[in-house]
Structures are given as structure tokens and as C-alpha cells.
């Protein structure tokens, strides 16, 4: 949330006298006057939409209208952010996510409705149509009457010998008669100017609070950041591949060759009945242990079976080694983008590792499906639950990697179980 001071309040606070003769009162009045008109119109339209929605809900169309109503709030929000330029130097950025996709209208609507920003905009629209419109109308009424009173001598002079009636029942016959008018009108205008400044500032603050993006939600400004993070993640992944390949082509082959040479030596020494056989045997055992460790390490960096055979087979291999029985049910119509497969694979391994370590589970199921162009993973264990997703840096890191791909990771682990991990990653890449 932007903590920048409200411009009109600063002007009021620092130079209250100069404020009166600056452009500020005029800008605030313009802001409040246009706001009054817009606010009422928005409120009426909103009420009509809801009423139409309820009335037509039996037909089904009404439900669609009701579901789309929050979007009307978004439209008002967009207009309000633009209108704020009257009294603020900077227009707030839009709070909505950048990746609403090109999917069917229904899914885009769903995306919008899931955003909290959409509901804040709807809330603002209601607040705008009621409180701000009413207060703005009040201030502008004072300003209008005061202005009329201030200019009443001029009006009386211009219209003489006709009589003018500004206050009912008190006819004014000439300019001199009208002098009490400005006496009341000028202080009224001063009051109206300050009140307008305070009210407009309050509304500006409200706009910034409700309609501007929040740190935990994506905005236009973070799109570029997200892209650069994605590039970074790609580079990171490419680096893992390079390390894996270097180990495979280098150290692993060297050790295999060493093992083979030692094997040959062992065979010949044994044939010659040499007492050194035992030592060579031991050396070979050590090489084998190193090879095993290296193989596990390489698999942890990037499993080749994932590259060659895809997610389902790679997960099946992990399941085979898992200390808790794992049922794998991953049915995908085709291979997925590399980045999706990788993050999905490591999510499953992390979830399985957690299930084995903490949950006391006796069985785990892994289900994977492709739905509407997104990979959905559901990993459930029958353990005791109570896992704190924030405690594990592993899952946090995976959630970050998913976020880069526009996906999300949800962990639910009530005390008493079961622990369920849901992941959804779009495969649009």
C-alpha cells in the first residue's frame, strides 16, 4: 500500500491561506461535482443490475448477470483511478493480475472473480455511490449557495428594477439590499473550499487504499519483474541441466572406468593368487559406493527418466523407492512443457519426502490430470496432518517456481489429517 501523502492535504497543511487562492479549491470542487454525478449514476446502475439479476435468476440469465456484477465495480474502479488525476499527480496502477489468459470468457470471468481486488472495487463502488456522493453533494450545495449569495449584489444590480429573491420571503430590491449576501457567501465559500479539500483528500486516500494494487497481488508494474524471474528460473534450470550433464559425462564416466580397471586388476590378481586382491577389492567397493552416491546426487539435480519418459514414469520410479506405499495415478494425453514437468516432479518428490518424514502416513496417493490446459496434481497422505507449509523451505521454493509459471500450490493439513497438496500449473508455455 502506497504511503505517499495525499497532495491536497499537504497543500492544506503547509499553506492553508495560500490554498484558498490556488487552483486547489477549483480542482477539488470539480472532483467532488463530477464524483457526485458519477457516484449516483454508478449506484443506480449497480442497484438495477442486482435487481435485474435477481428478477431473471429463475431464467438462468440472471445468475450470469449477478456473477458479472463485480466486474461493473472494476469498470467504476478504472474510471475512478483515472479521475483521481484531477487532484493527484499520479494515477494508481490497476490492481488486477496480468495473466488472465486468453481462455474462454467463463474462465476469464472466474479469474477476475477470484481476485480480491475485484471485490475491493465493488466495495468502493458502493461506498462511492453512498457516502462520498452524499458528502460531496452536501459540500457542493454549500459552495453553490455561497457562490450565489456572494454574487447576489451583482445580480440585483443587473436585474434592477426587478426584485430578486435569494432567500424565500426576503425580496431584495437593490444591490445595497443584497450586501448581507456576500457577507454570508464569502465565508461559506472559504468553508466550502476547505471542506472540499478535506473530503477530496479523504476520497483520494480511499481510492489509493481500495483501488491500487497491493504488494501481494500482481499488477502491471510486476509483470516485467515476473518475466525476468521466469528468465532467471529458466537460466537456473539450464544450469542444473549443465551440471547434470557435466557430472554424467565427467565424474560418472571416470568412476565407471576406474571401477572397470580395478575389476580387471582384481581378476588378474585373484588368478595369480596375490594377497593384494583384498585391497583392490576394497578399493572397488569404495568406488561403487561413490558411484551410487553420485547417481543419487545426479538424480536429485535432474532425473534423466523425466526427460526421456515424462512425468508419469518419473514419478512411478520415485514411488518405487518410497518407504511408504504410493499409489500413482497420473494420466496425461501428451508430454508437458519441460518447465511444468520439472516443477511438478519436484513438487511430488518434496510432498512424498514430507509424507515419509513427518506425517506417519501409511499410504500416499498421487493423482495427475490435464484439465483446461493446466496440470492438476493432488497428493494426499493418510497421516496425522498438522503440517506447517510455512515451516518447510522446500515447498515455499516450489510455490515460488509455480508462481513464475502462473500456477499455484495449496497445502491443507488439518490436525488429525489428511494432508493434501494441490497444485495447478498452466501448460500454456
Q: What is the dihedral of CA 55, 57, 60, 62, to 10 degrees?
A: 70
Q: Which of 130, 163, 173, 261 binds other proteins (CB under 8 A)?
A: 261
Report CA 338 to chain centroid distance, whole Å: 25
Distances (CA, A) of 187 to 146, 155, 193, 224: 8, 19, 10, 52
Binding positions for other proteins, 355-414, rule CB under 8 A: 362-363
Q: Residue 417 — left, alpha, or beta (φ > 0 → left; ψ -120 to 50 → alpha)?
A: left
CA–CA separation, 26 vs 29, rounded Å? 5
Instruction: Check residue 163 and report its DSSP letter.
Output: -
Q: Are 377 and 409 in contact (CB under 8 A)?
A: no
Q: How many residues bind other proteins (CB under 8 A)?
A: 48
User: Does the CA dihedral 370-371-377-381 come out positive or negative?
Assistant: negative
Site track 192-231 with other proteins (rule: CB under 8 A), x = hit: ----------------------------------------
257 interacts with other proteins by CB under 8 A: yes
112 interacts with other proteins by CB under 8 A: no
Q: Which of 83, 96, 120, 284 binds other proteins (CB under 8 A)?
A: 284
- The residues, any chain, with a CB within 8 Å of residue 154's CB and separated by 6 or more, are 175
Q: Which three cell numbers stand for residue 264?
A: 580387471
Distances (CA, A) of 178 to 159, 186, 189, 238, 367: 12, 13, 17, 84, 85
348 interacts with other proteins by CB under 8 A: no
Binding positions for other proteins, 299-318, rule CB under 8 A: 299, 303-305, 307-309, 313-314, 316-317
256 interacts with other proteins by CB under 8 A: yes
Nearer to other proteins, 237 or 317 (CB): 317
Report CA 55 to chain centroid distance, whole Å: 34
259 interacts with other proteins by CB under 8 A: yes
Nearest Cα residue to 375 out of 351, 342, 353, 419: 342
Q: Which of 328, 348, 351, 355 binds other proteins (CB under 8 A)?
A: 328
88 interacts with other proteins by CB under 8 A: no
- Candidates 24-32, 246-254, 335-343, 387-395: pick the segment binding other proteins (CB under 8 A): 246-254
Q: Which of 10, 34, 130, 253 binds other proteins (CB under 8 A)?
A: 253
Q: Which of 163, 327, 396, 412 binds other proteins (CB under 8 A)?
A: 327
User: Residue numbers of the site for other proteins (CB under 8 A)?
Assistant: 245, 248-249, 252-254, 256-257, 259-264, 266-267, 284, 287-288, 291-292, 295, 298-299, 303-305, 307-309, 313-314, 316-317, 319-329, 331, 362-363
Amino acid at each position: 500500500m502506497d504511503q505517499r501523502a495525499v497532495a491536497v492535504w499537504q497543500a492544506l497543511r503547509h499553506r492553508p491561506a495560500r490554498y484558498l487562492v490556488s487552483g486547489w479549491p477549483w480542482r477539488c470542487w470539480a472532483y467532488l461535482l463530477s464524483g457526485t454525478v458519477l457516484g449516483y449514476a454508478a449506484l443506480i446502475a449497480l442497484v438495477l443490475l442486482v435487481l435485474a439479476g435477481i428478477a431473471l435468476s429463475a431464467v438462468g440469465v440472471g445468475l450470469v448477470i449477478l456473477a458479472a456484477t463485480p466486474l461493473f465495480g472494476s469498470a467504476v474502479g478504472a474510471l475512478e483511478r483515472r479521475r483521481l488525476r484531477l487532484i493527484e499527480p499520479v494515477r494508481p496502477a490497476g490492481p488486477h493480475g496480468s495473466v488472465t489468459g486468453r481462455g474462454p470468457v467463463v474462465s476469464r470471468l472466474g479469474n477476475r472473480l477470484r481476485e480480491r481486488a475485484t471485490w475491493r472495487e465493488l466495495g468502493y463502488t458502493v461506498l462511492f455511490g453512498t457516502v462520498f456522493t452524499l458528502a460531496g453533494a452536501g459540500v457542493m450545495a454549500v459552495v453553490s449557495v455561497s457562490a450565489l449569495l456572494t454574487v447576489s449584489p451583482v445580480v440585483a444590480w443587473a436585474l434592477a428594477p426587478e426584485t430578486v429573491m435569494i432567500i424565500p420571503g426576503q425580496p431584495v430590491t437593490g444591490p445595497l439590499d443584497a450586501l448581507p449576501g456576500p457577507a454570508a457567501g464569502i465565508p461559506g465559500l472559504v468553508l466550502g473550499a476547505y471542506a472540499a479539500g478535506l473530503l477530496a483528500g479523504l476520497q483520494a486516500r480511499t481510492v489509493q487504499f481500495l483501488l491500487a494494487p497491493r504488494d501481494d497481488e500482481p499488477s502491471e508494474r510486476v509483470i516485467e519483474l515476473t518475466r525476468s524471474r521466469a528468465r532467471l528460473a529458466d537460466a537456473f534450470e539450464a544450469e542444473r541441466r549443465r551440471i547434470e550433464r557435466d557430472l554424467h559425462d565427467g565424474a560418472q564416466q571416470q568412476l565407471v572406468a576406474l571401477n572397470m580397471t580395478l575389476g580387471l586388476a582384481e581378476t588378474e590378481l585373484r588368478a595369480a593368487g596375490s594377497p593384494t586382491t583384498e585391497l583392490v577389492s576394497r578399493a572397488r567397493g569404495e568406488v561403487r559406493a561413490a558411484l551410487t552416491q553420485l547417481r543419487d546426487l545426479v538424480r536429485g539435480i535432474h532425473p534423466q527418466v523425466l526427460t526421456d519418459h515424462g512425468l508419469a514414469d518419473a514419478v512411478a520410479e520415485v514411488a518405487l523407492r518410497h518407504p511408504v506405499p504410493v499409489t500413482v495415478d497420473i494420466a496425461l494425453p501428451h508430454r508437458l512443457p519441460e518447465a511444468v514437468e520439472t516443477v511438478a516432479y519436484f513438487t511430488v518428490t518434496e510432498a512424498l519426502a514430507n509424507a515419509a518424514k513427518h506425517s506417519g502416513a501409511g499410504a500416499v496417493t498421487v493423482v495427475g490430470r490435464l484439465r483446461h490446459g493446466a496440470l492438476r496434481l493432488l497428493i494426499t497422505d493418510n497421516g496425522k496432518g498438522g503440517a506447517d507449509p510455512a515451516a518447510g523451505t522446500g515447498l515455499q521454493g516450489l510455490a515460488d517456481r509455480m508462481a513464475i509459471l502462473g500456477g499455484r500450490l495449496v497445502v491443507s493439513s488439518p490436525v488429525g489429517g489428511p494432508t493434501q497438496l494441490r497444485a495447478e500449473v498452466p501448460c500454456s508455455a
